[in-house]
């Protein structure tokens, strides 16, 4: 069935994992070796990437991490045919070390991050992620958490809202929008997405209303704040690298510049020498422990974007551990 997704983009009948073949090919040298291997899918979602990994690499066990209990349930049903080769874990992905400790796994051969909000979460009105339909301002990836987007919108000081809109949403009208929200909530609390979008529309100069949906950047900013996404990511990538064995690979798919910048920094810290310039001999302490597998941040090809519009904004980065195996540390 053709149509539009919850944010007005062309939709496909079934969730399609982004850059699937590229991701599998990047993981393959680590998983096609002799003997068993373990992969962490740090953002399991509906299990699309996970299913493809388990099908292609029959000696691989996959630990699927997600903070969303509903995602874990649905992915579990999808991946049930793989039996004990799939192990679900309810956790935020910066808790990879704790998850691996519980599973009795010292290190892994692969880690995959597919960041951002999932299509399942966008599709469910009660989750409150959509700005194109009137839904409650929730946006929690884990419904068990306490902070909602409604609380952020109604309780944060105006200056803090402006900072969130500016930094997390890269919104040029951040100050203007924050002041408009502050004025509106003085009369009555802001409860739903349509109400918030209306406030943003009234605060947008006529000359700028053609630049796209007024809610896109603000809703992104609120989602990131509610779920502490960037803070989690800053901890998660180094944690994943720490538990990757020699020859193992870490692949990250990000969808906006803030995520990609964090990933780029984390990988750069492990793939360049820290020795002072001019030092004649590289030491164990200063030599890089990983090498980059991608040049820059490759994008999806036009054909994939046409088939799967979510791929339009993806940036991929990947690295392989070349020394300093955690199993021998």
242 is in an annotated binding site: no
Other C-beta atoms within 10 Å of 296: how many? 10
Radius of gyration of the chain (CA): 21
DSSP element (H, E) containing 155: helix 149-155
220 is in an annotated binding site: no
Other C-beta atoms within 10 Å of 120: how many? 16
41 is in an annotated binding site: no
CB distance 39 to 59 below 8 Å = no
Q: 3-state DSSP call for residue 254? A: strand
47 is in an annotated binding site: yes
Virtual torsion, Cα 225, 230, 236, 237, nearest 10 deg: 160
Q: Measure the CA–CA gap between 169 and 175, rounded to whole angstroms.
A: 12
114 is in an annotated binding site: yes
Q: How many residues does this entry show for the chain?
A: 329
248 is in an annotated binding site: no
Sign of the Cα torsion 127, 133, 136, 137 reads positive
For residue 170, with 0-12 CB atoms within 10 Å meaning exposed, 13-18 middle and 19 or more buried, which class applies?
Answer: middle
260 is in an annotated binding site: no
Annotated binding site, which residues? 47-49, 66, 93, 114, 121
In the annotated binding site for S-adenosyl-L-methionine, the residues are 47-49, 66, 93, 114, 121
């Amino acid at each position: 069935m053709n149509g539009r997704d919850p944010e007005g983009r062309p939709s496909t009948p079934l969730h399609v994992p982004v850059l699937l073949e590229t991701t599998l090919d990047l993981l393959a040298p680590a998983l096609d070796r002799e003997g068993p291997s373990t992969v962490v899918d740090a953002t399991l979602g509906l299990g699309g990437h996970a299913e493809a990994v388990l099908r292609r690499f029959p000696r691989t066990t996959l630990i699927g991490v997600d903070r969303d209990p509903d995602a874990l349930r649905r992915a579990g049903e999808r991946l049930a045919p793989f039996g004990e080769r799939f192990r679900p874990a309810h956790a935020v992905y910066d808790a990879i070390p704790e998850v691996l400790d519980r599973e009795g796994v010292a290190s892994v051969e692969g880690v995959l991050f597919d960041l951002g909000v999932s299509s399942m979460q966008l599709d469910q009105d009660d989750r409150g992620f959509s700005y194109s339909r009137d839904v409650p301002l929730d946006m929690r990836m884990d419904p068990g958490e306490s902070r909602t987007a409604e609380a952020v919108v109604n309780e944060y000081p105006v200056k803090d809202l402006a900072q969130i809109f500016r930094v997390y949403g890269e919104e040029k009208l951040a100050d203007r929008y924050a002041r408009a929200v502050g004025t509106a909530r003085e009369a009555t609390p802001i409860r739903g997405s349509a109400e918030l979008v209306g406030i943003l529309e009234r605060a947008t100069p006529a000359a700028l209303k053609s630049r796209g949906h007024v809610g896109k950047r603000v809703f992104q900013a609120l989602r990131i704040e509610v779920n502490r996404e960037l803070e989690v990511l800053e901890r998660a990538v180094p944690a994943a690298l720490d538990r990757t064995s020699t020859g193992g690979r870490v692949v990250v798919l990000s969808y906006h510049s803030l995520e990609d910048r964090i990933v780029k920094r984390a990988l750069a810290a492990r793939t360049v020498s820290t020795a002072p310039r001019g030092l004649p001999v590289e030491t164990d302490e200063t030599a890089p422990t990983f090498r980059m597998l991608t040049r820059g941040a490759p994008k999806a090809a036009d054909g994939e974007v046409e088939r799967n519009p979510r791929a339009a904004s993806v940036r991929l980065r990947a690295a392989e551990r070349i020394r300093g195996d955690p199993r021998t540390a």
